Chain A
Amino acid sequence: MKDQLQALETEALQKVAEATSLKELQDVRVAYLGKKGPITEVLRGMGKLSKEERPVIGELANTVRGNIADAIDGKKETIEAAELEKQLEEETIDVTLPGRPAPTGGPHLLTSIVEEIEDLFIGMGFEVREGPEVETDYYNFEALNLPKGHPARDMQDSFYITEDILMRTHTSPVQARTMNAMEDKRPVKMICPGKVYRRDTDDATHSHQFTQIEGLYVDKNVRMSDLKGVLDRFAKQMFGEDREIRLRPSFFPFTEPSVEMDISCKMCHGDGCSVCKQTGWIEILGAGMVHPRVLEMAGYDPKVYSGFAFGMGPERIAMLKYGVDDIRHFYTNDKRFLKQYHQA
């Protein structure tokens, strides 16, 4: 009986080894370990054995059964792995084929520039304020020290709706509005981006609608050197740490002193080239110390408060930064143009 069991084991292990599919393996399991299988058969004949022999043979039979079962499980894993591998092989795809495009939209270049500038000034403690695009003559001009009859407020240059209402020609009225709205006349530190309108014929460098960002800081003891420091940080963050700024005297009715800010040309680093018209400098924005009349009209005592203001054109900045050659691109909304600035 012992020999019989051992022979069965040898035979079964031989068949397990020969099996090549899960089906064959299952057949082996049924054939040897099934209820009608030879091992069960052997165990049935145990009744004839002596008391001493029974546990020995019983144990042997269990061992044989266990060995066969282990072999079958082992083989099963091998076959399954092989079959999975074969199946995966069949599932192979051409990974070089194009994928399904995910939806891709993006911001307009002007918005990107405006948000970049907003974030930059927010980092320096500024708030973002907004104001109406259709303004009163008072806020657009008078509150900014441009009384009636001033040559800079020619009817020809502005889109008037009535004698007293017009499309704002700059974002500066938001200065006056913000200061006026401060009932407790506390410090004001804000920037204001927005659309502005001038009576211009659209061409490569003019647009009847364009964007401006206005900045204003009014507090006690605001110095012109603060303006220089803030603008220098702006220029370096916006255009690169290696850029220098310079201020040049200029004139705006709502600031005194008034300056224009140039940055060193990135092409020639100040040596002079065609981009900067041989000057080494590129004009970026206008700024100055808030005119005492403007402070006064907004209810801030110019003896106590001082401030600076600046204004810049995102279109111009975009044109300089990205080499956009025609301002009309910003308003045509050609998909091919818009897409160029969707990359981060």
Chain B
Amino acid sequence: MFVSLNWLKNYVDIDQLSPKDLAEKITKSGIEVEGLERFASESTNVVVGYVESCEQHPDADKLNLCKVNVGDETLQIICGAPNIAQGQKVAVAKPGAVLPGNFKIKKAKLRGVESFGMICSLQELGVEEKFVPKEFASGIFVFPEDTEIGADVTELLNLDDIILELGLTPNRSDALSMLGVAYEVAALLDVPIRLPGTIYQTVEEKTKEHVSVSVEATEQNPYYGAFLLKDVKIGPSPLWMRNYLSAEGIRPINNVVDITNYVLLEYGQPLHAFDFDTFGSNEVVVRMAEQDEKLVTIDEQERTLTNEHLVITNGKEPVALAGVMGGANSEVSDDTTTVLLEAAYFDGQTVRKASKDFDLRSDASTRFEKGVDPARVKQAGERAVQLLQQYAGATVLDGVAETGELDLTEKQVTIWTSVINDRLGTAMSNEDIANILRKLNFNYEQDGETFIVSAPTRRQDIVIFEDMLEEVARIYGYDNLPFTLPSGGSQAGGLTKQQELKRHVKQFMEGAGLSETVTYSLTSKERAVELVSPEVAEEMVSTVSLAMPMSEEHSTLRLSILPEMLSSVAYNLARKQDNIAYYEIGSVFLSKEENVTEQPKETLRLAGALTGEWTTHPWQQEKKAVDFFVAKGILEALFESLNLDVTFTQAKVDGMHPGRTAQLFVSGRSIGFVGQVHPALQKKYDLKETYVFDVDFDYILANHENEPSFTQIPRYPSVTRDIALVVDESIPAGELQATITKAGGELVKSIQVFDVYQGEHLEQGKKSIAFSVFYQNPEQTLTDEEVEASYQAILTAVAEEHQAELRG
């Protein structure tokens, strides 16, 4: 909503504040002022001149030589405008004038003839072309005949007006009118408000003798009123009105159209003027459109309607799309003499549907959508009739052809000073509250601290106590509220164990050298099913897709963080960032239904991606590329820090390298995987050798033992025995280790692989794996016999289970 301050001054006295301070006050009390601008940039020394004579320049076809009376003198001015003519009143920039853009006017010689100044177009005076009336768009502006010669043009054209742009929240549609803004400003400045007059003369002839009104769709159109005006003379509207409309961003057209627009802005009530001679009948019938019914609107577009659209008809065919746009068949033209003026209340949702379906958002539709003030519907019609009588010479017929009724009762809301103080933390008195209600122009009945407030119909947003609480608070001023801290029972805030654990894991990953990413949850349909961990693949039935995605790229909910993370990795590689180590903890979404009817299961995953060099120290010729064991090592250390016993098993996972992928298990339950991305997928993603992992983080959160218990630090020395075993190359080290652990007995504290060898001195198809076995007895010093017995048991077991031989 744009607000011309010059226009606003007609209703409230705002001179006590500068425009900037006024804007600040409005912003702080309820409506954000998003812009404050002069209507047109400053110009000086431009006055009204009378063109006494206008002849062709002796030496130039397109130039005219004019004698212009500017009051105190008559100037010779050369003018090239095509619409210049003798007898006009025009805007003259005298020598010494400065126009917008710091354009200085000097005495000049044009084709040998002297020119003292310039006759100006509105554009030259700083008015935006779109607000210039069409007849003056490609020439100079012509003032009405009765304009005083020598008068200051800036003042006449309102060029120094200040325009505020208000950003209205949905509840403040009352400020979609100049009067609404006036009430607001009156409350803020504590000044009285002056309402416009609506008094006009009528003839004896009755409206109802010429036109009848009936409404079939009463729910969508609870009230419809029609005024009838004869002898209308179409012409330009008064200059002041044109100025105000331009300031509000509306191009002036003619007096009838301008007056309906003016009243729309003044009252917030859209009106529509039909040419009654082309209306097609003498009955107005408002009904829902028939399916596929057609209407050509005034923008010359043929609209195909449905039965959800409300139309005004002449009993036979539609003549307007209610509240949105009129029909071309009954549009007011230069030949119009009889006007049927509509003042009606249309249901917001119905209007919204039509304006959306046809992409026709207008000043009228916006106001109906948000709900107009029922008390102003007829008033606005009367105001327009008054202006039409005054500025279009209309003869007004007696009465209004109307049907329906609007609820004009004011909602009563009871407030109590003590409750207001309790809710706000203030110490207002009853007088303070009464004073605020008076400023707001709200009627009320007071009994001690109880106020029964009648919310005016213009404030449809005020319904409950809290709405009034807000009114009181904002007029009292939020700046005046004290700063307090909650007095309620002290609650110890904090993180849950799980939230703390999540932070621990994040810090661990970062300490291990990984950087956290935040990627999109929405990915493409294709990517959504890539690199899905086996336990997720098993649990899910379908992916979850958006009904109306913005793009295919972000259409489907992820089942794994990895695809979007790998896209980020590729983004970095493309920018020569070759060494990447990323992790992320985030939700994935799996549906257990073929067709989604319930919220999908959301489960947290911990994912990571590593590529390029892991460690590098060039001058010492050290370089270690990321490999499987780097990725695995990070997870092992993480699980150790979580005291979680995880088994890594050779596995095949879609999209992963078939020989370099391990699945993770805890007590036989799959919790994720780690490995190299399949080279084919690497290529598809534009990646180099990349290792990834994806772990069920919810499982970790749910199964973590949060308190480590104390274990005695061993007092007796340990013994280490090394065992090098030759086995078939297909035997995984993990299985050997499991056998050793089991056979070694409880004295075995830990086992470590320290060598893996394959090649010379070994039979084809065999490999050697060497383990260090650490023995310890917490109770006493180990004996050789004990260790030897365990060692032999190990040898027997590995020989039996894996045909392992001791390496000679």
Show the binding face of A for B, using Cβ within 8 Å.
97-98, 100-101, 103-108, 110-111, 115, 118, 121-128, 132-136, 149, 151-152, 155, 159-162, 165, 167, 187, 189, 195, 197, 199-201, 208-209, 217, 219-226, 228-230, 232-233, 246-251, 256-259, 289, 291-292, 306, 330-336, 338-339, 342
Contacts and interface: CB of A to CB of B under 8 A. Distances in A.
Given A249-B30, A333-B571, A229 B518 contact: no
B516 A122 contact: no
Nearest to B585: A111
- The 10 lowest CB-CB distance pairs between A and B, nearest first, are A103-B513, A225-B425, A251-B169, A257-B470, A223-B425, A333-B568, A247-B478, A105-B510, A256-B466, A219-B488
A332 B568 contact: yes
B interface bracket (residues with beta carbon within 8 Å of A): 35 or more
B597 A331 contact: no
Nearest to B587: A133
Nearest to B348: A151
A135 B620 CA distance: 55
30 contacts: A97-B619, A100-B620, A101-B615, A103-B512, A105-B516, A107-B506, A122-B493, A125-B492, A134-B589, A159-B546, A160-B547, A161-B546, A187-B489, A189-B486, A195-B521, A197-B522, A208-B554, A222-B486, A223-B484, A225-B425, A225-B483, A228-B425, A229-B482, A229-B484, A248-B28, A248-B30, A248-B32, A249-B31, A249-B470, A289-B469
B172 interface: yes
Contacts of A339: 515
A209 B520 contact: yes
A115 to B, nearest CB: 7
A110 B517 CA distance: 9
Contacts of B516: 105-108, 111, 338
B550 A208 contact: yes
A132 B28 contact: no
Given A105-B512, A229-B484, A256-B467, A121 B493 contact: yes
B521 A133 contact: yes
B356 to A, nearest CB: 9
Interface in B437-491: 464-467, 469-470, 473-474, 478-479, 481-491
B525 to A, nearest CB: 14
A123 B545 contact: no
A159 B549 contact: yes
Nearest to A111: B516
Contacts of B491: 125, 127, 187, 189
B519 interface: yes
A289 B580 contact: no
B596 A127 contact: no
Contacts of A225: 424-426, 481-484
Nearest to A259: B478
A108 B518 contact: yes
A136 B509 CA distance: 34
B184 to A, nearest CB: 11
Interface stretch (B206-214, B495-503, B733-741, B793-801): B495-503
B549 A228 contact: no
Most buried by B among A123, A250, A336: A250
A133 B493 CA distance: 24
A221 B509 CA distance: 44
A333 B478 contact: no
B604 to A, nearest CB: 10
Given A248-B478, A256-B467, A289-B469, 7 more contacts: A115-B503, A132-B602, A219-B489, A224-B481, A226-B487, A233-B485, A257-B473
Given A105-B516, A209-B521, A257-B473, A226 B485 contact: yes
A276 to B, nearest CB: 13
Contacts of A259: 478
A165 B515 CA distance: 33
Given A98-B619, A103-B511, A208-B522, A134 B172 contact: no
A101 B616 contact: yes
B120 interface: no
Nearest to B503: A115
A117 to B, nearest CB: 12
